[in-house]
Structure 1
Amino acid sequence: MTIDTAAELPVRFAELKQAIAKSYPDFEQRITQAWKEIIEQLEEFSKVIQKEGSSYVPQVNFKDLGALSEEQIAKIRRVGTVVIKDIVDDEHAIAWRESLEKFVKDNPDVQGSPVGDKQFFELYWTKAQVQARSHPNVLAATVWLNQLYHVKNEKNQPGGVDLSVSLSYADRFRIRHPGIWNMHPPHVDGGSIERWEDPNFRMCFADILSGNWQKHDPYDLEGRLNAKSSLYGRPSQSSVFRTFQGWLAMSETGPNEGTLKVLPDVHLSTAYIILRPFFRPLVSPDSEGIYDPKNWEIDLTSSRFPGIFPRDGGYGGPQPTELLHPHLRLGATMTSIPKVYPGDAVFWHCDVVHSVEVEHTGNAESAVMYIPAVPMTSMNLGYVERQKRCFLSKERPPDFPQGEGESKWVGVATVDDILSDAGKVAMGFA
């Protein structure tokens, strides 16, 4: 008797599994061996993280980005997350927070959540946000992150990409109060079922699906540039290629103060999540035997993709849970980032499992602006052009839930608030 509590998706997803299996030689044999190896390494990895905690997450200074050692860069690539300190001066970041607080006070009807205690705001075009996105240091940091990517096979060198130019992707901000917040459990952004369903996106994980999981390169551009991360047009599903997602701190925020948590090994976690739909457990999820790879069998007949679920006319996830993804040992491996200060930023690879701490036990607000790293590609340029029209009319950006725009609010940004020439390029004005 098999045991699996993941949701059944439409039958075509069982057929998708079977089609994927047929496209790789000796699929069942190879991924069974890979599954065993990944599980064994995840167990060892969890022991390391329990010992090192937040200190495992790399921290570097903005001024040192051009002088990091190969060892430091390799650690950043493997972890998939980095804290870049002092990107902007403290006073700039604090002034932006004060500006956002004033904007919300001057415009009390702006939408935000939770209802009755707004902390996460559906705002995109305030002066502070536009200024932060166009700050030359912020753009320089995202260019550095973009350039961590490369092409593994030079014969497949893609055209239409310039990693030395960073584009602007308008997102929101939060000013979180102390207390409980259940809004962001462990998840991966930038594509849901699309990771398996879209052929280009699936190409990013070809080494994993072929059983050669150790050769998987999260920074290989092949497949990324044309991957369709939003096949269903679901609100809040990014349709652009973000090399790293990120936020800029506007306050001090440390562990247990409502900060970001990550699973700090993008290679291992991605390999596990991509192969998870092809296996089902033979024992109860609450059994100790659930961790033994011998108690799992190949599943090519069900339509289950654990962690993927119907949502808003499309699909949400991947959203790993301790029940459905036991070997990730999320209770042990989800790690709070180290303490940050105003002007510091945190960036995490687009495949990193991340969440927000449920409980904020500190005494002060935790304030951040979401600013990702977005390289110049043909697809991304097309989005920026549509986004520019939204900026000029003060409508919400194309990827986000549509609703009342910001044209009637007091203190909305104009083109004059773009701080740099690079910022004008990033926003499609040059």
Structure 2
Amino acid sequence: MADQLNPRMPARFVDLKRTIAAAYPDFEARITRAWAEILDELDVASKTIAAEGPNIIPQVQFADLASLSGEQIDNIKRRGCVVIRDVVDDEEVAGWKSSLDEFVKANPDVPGLPDDDKQFFHLYWTKAQVLARAHPNVLNATTFLNNLYHTKDGKAPDGVDLSAPLSYADRFRIRRPGVAWEVHPPHIDGGAIERWEDETFRQCFADILSGDWRKHDAYDLEDRINARSSLYGRPGQATVFRTYQGWLALSPTGPRQGTIQFFPDVLLSNAYLILRPFFSYRAPSAPTPASALEASNWTYDISTPDFPGIFAVNGGFAGRLTVKDHPHLRLDTTMTSVPDVGAGDMVFWHCDLVHSVETVHTGAHDSAVMYIPAVPTTPQNAAYIARQNAAFVAGVTPPDFGSMRPESVYVGTGTPGDVHGALGRRAMGFEVEVA
């Protein structure tokens, strides 16, 4: 599908590769050595991931977040994903699910996909969504995840508070059984070409680009808080820093029931994807499927503008991973479905993690989730939440998502009066000071 979306990058991106190469001493030699090491590690890790399946995804209880062991936390950080169980009471979640069903029924003209059978809804301000985002347990779960990040000196930068969560308005889905779902193949959100093009964002991966990929810390806060994940203003491209993306399950769901999938190793996937644009496959005289995996058949190459998996679309750039472009990730066997979850459980994944949605839903019931990420207070995030708050009060689409019909015209839209509690009100921007 990427081929249909013009994967060829503008010629100026040759200069970007050259600029990056010139910034690091002995760049070619160091990353060539690193590339071979990463491919070896991926060969071992991919077999482990495929063998363990959903069991490799960390699972914890919401009530235990404050008492997790160091080993459990390290596992969450390395896997880059986690299921947090029993975040919200079953009865309360059931009420939210019924409310969304009624909202869609009462407003059949709401925007959603697919057009002829809407299941993914471009809605942000239903009462159920507003209540869920402001729920103290939801915000406390995101606070736990925010605090997995740190600075090298242990001091919070000015205007940064990892224990003061903000609430980013996103959408929801109510996926029905038996419908093929092709719209979310393996990808990473929170920036496409920006990971290389934005100098601050690029610094998040400096250890990888210097060849010291094992030193890469995906939880280093310093450059993340000022990285620009949206250089081109493409609608739907988040401009905030989300430590983890996430969703709240509104119904039971599990493998082969339209759930989410991950490549559960954020260090290895980051190392591989950041270096991938600097290498080209040189097929041997008698290529085989295995030859594409051998490091000896890959050559350092900065002669083209292409960044495999990145393509031009809607005035900007998006990303998509494929077996062809990223063979060493072995996506056909390593994209791992999360284990069974119940209503009220939450699933979170690191902002760099490769994820997708299952193409099949063979279950007997709806697979329904609200998208609710973990967002810390930073100057950039607080400024966005102030704009989002104004959109909420006006009943219009949040700033990151383009212009649509005002939601205030629909029956059952949430209002500021639905946001209760100091934690929820602050998270929604009613008491946030913008530096």
* Structure 1: gaps spanning 5 or more residues: none
* Paired residues of 2:253 and 2:341 also in contact (CA < 8 A): yes
Tell me by how many angstroms 1:20 deviates.
0.3
Note if 1:192 corresponds to 2:192: yes
* Paired residues of 2:119 and 2:176 also in contact (CA < 8 A): yes
Aligned match of 1:330: 331
Tell me by how many angstroms 1:8 deviates.
2.7
Alpha-carbon separation, structure 2, partners of 1:49 and 1:42: 10
Alpha-carbon separation, structure 2, partners of 1:264 and 1:93: 28
The superposition leaves residues 45-93 of structure 1 with CA deviations (integer Å, 9 ceiling, x where unpaired) of: 1111121100000000000000000000000000000000000001111
Amino acid at match of 2:87: I
Aligned match of 1:396: 397
Tell me by how many angstroms 1:153 deviates.
4.8
* Paired residues of 2:189 and 2:351 also in contact (CA < 8 A): yes
- TM-score w.r.t. the length of structure 2 is 0.96
**What secondary structure, in the 3-state scheme, does the structure 1 residue paired with 2:161 have?**
strand
Note if 1:176 corresponds to 2:175: yes
**What secondary structure, in the 3-state scheme, does the structure 2 residue paired with 1:404 have?**
coil
* Paired residues of 1:145 and 1:373 also in contact (CA < 8 A): yes
Note if 1:23 corresponds to 2:23: yes
Alpha-carbon separation, structure 2, partners of 1:223 and 1:116: 43
Amino acid at match of 1:106: A
Give runs of aligned pairs for residues 232-311 of structure 1, distance below 5 A: 232-283=232-283, 287-311=289-313
Aligned match of 1:231: 231
Alpha-carbon separation, structure 2, partners of 1:254 and 1:392: 36
Tell me by how many angstroms 1:223 deviates.
0.9
**What secondary structure, in the 3-state scheme, does the structure 1 residue paired with 2:225 have?**
coil
Change (3 A) 1:6 1:263: farther
Give runs of aligned pairs for residues 146-161 of structure 1, distance below 5 A: 146-153=146-153, 158-161=157-160
**What secondary structure, in the 3-state scheme, does the structure 1 residue paired with 2:52 have?**
helix
The superposition leaves residues 204-230 of structure 1 with CA deviations (integer Å, 9 ceiling, x where unpaired) of: 000000000000000001210100000
**What secondary structure, in the 3-state scheme, does the structure 2 residue paired with 1:125 have?**
coil
Aligned match of 1:162: 161
**What secondary structure, in the 3-state scheme, does the structure 2 residue paired with 1:407 have?**
helix
Aligned match of 1:59: 59
* Larger CA deviation: 290-299 vs 156-165: 156-165
**What secondary structure, in the 3-state scheme, does the structure 2 residue paired with 1:218 have?**
coil
The superposition leaves residues 145-170 of structure 1 with CA deviations (integer Å, 9 ceiling, x where unpaired) of: 0000001355x863221001000100
Aligned match of 2:117: 117
Aligned match of 2:417: 416
Change (3 A) 1:20 1:26: same
* Paired residues of 2:226 and 2:380 also in contact (CA < 8 A): yes
**What secondary structure, in the 3-state scheme, does the structure 1 residue paired with 2:145 have?**
helix
* Paired residues of 1:205 and 1:216 also in contact (CA < 8 A): yes
Amino acid at match of 1:166: P
Amino acid at match of 2:428: M
Alpha-carbon separation, structure 1, partners of 2:410 and 2:69: 47
Alpha-carbon separation, structure 1, partners of 2:105 and 2:276: 46
Tell me by how many angstroms 1:300 deviates.
1.1
**What secondary structure, in the 3-state scheme, does the structure 1 residue paired with 2:77 have?**
helix
**What secondary structure, in the 3-state scheme, does the structure 2 residue paired with 1:359 have?**
coil
Change (3 A) 1:228 1:347: same
Tell me by how many angstroms 1:329 deviates.
0.4
Q: What count of residue pairs does the alignment treat as equivalent?
A: 424
The superposition leaves residues 376-398 of structure 1 with CA deviations (integer Å, 9 ceiling, x where unpaired) of: 00000100011011101111001
Tell me by how many angstroms 1:189 deviates.
0.3
**What secondary structure, in the 3-state scheme, does the structure 2 residue paired with 1:186 have?**
coil
Aligned match of 1:144: 144
* Paired residues of 1:6 and 1:304 also in contact (CA < 8 A): no
Alpha-carbon separation, structure 2, partners of 1:287 and 1:84: 39
Aligned match of 2:374: 373
* Paired residues of 2:186 and 2:321 also in contact (CA < 8 A): yes
Alpha-carbon separation, structure 2, partners of 1:241 and 1:300: 30
- TM-score w.r.t. the length of structure 1 is 0.97
**What secondary structure, in the 3-state scheme, does the structure 2 residue paired with 1:322 have?**
coil
The superposition leaves residues 184-241 of structure 1 with CA deviations (integer Å, 9 ceiling, x where unpaired) of: 0000000010000000000000000000000000000121010000000000000000
* Paired residues of 1:46 and 1:333 also in contact (CA < 8 A): yes
Amino acid at match of 2:392: F
Alpha-carbon separation, structure 2, partners of 1:260 and 1:325: 20
**What secondary structure, in the 3-state scheme, does the structure 1 residue paired with 2:407 have?**
coil
* Paired residues of 2:6 and 2:312 also in contact (CA < 8 A): no
Tell me by how many angstroms 1:313 deviates.
0.2
**What secondary structure, in the 3-state scheme, does the structure 1 residue paired with 2:248 have?**
strand
Alpha-carbon separation, structure 2, partners of 1:255 and 1:95: 25
* Structure 2: gaps spanning 5 or more residues: none
Amino acid at match of 1:33: R
* Paired residues of 2:80 and 2:350 also in contact (CA < 8 A): yes
Aligned match of 1:314: 316
Tell me by how many angstroms 1:287 deviates.
3.2
Aligned match of 1:405: 406
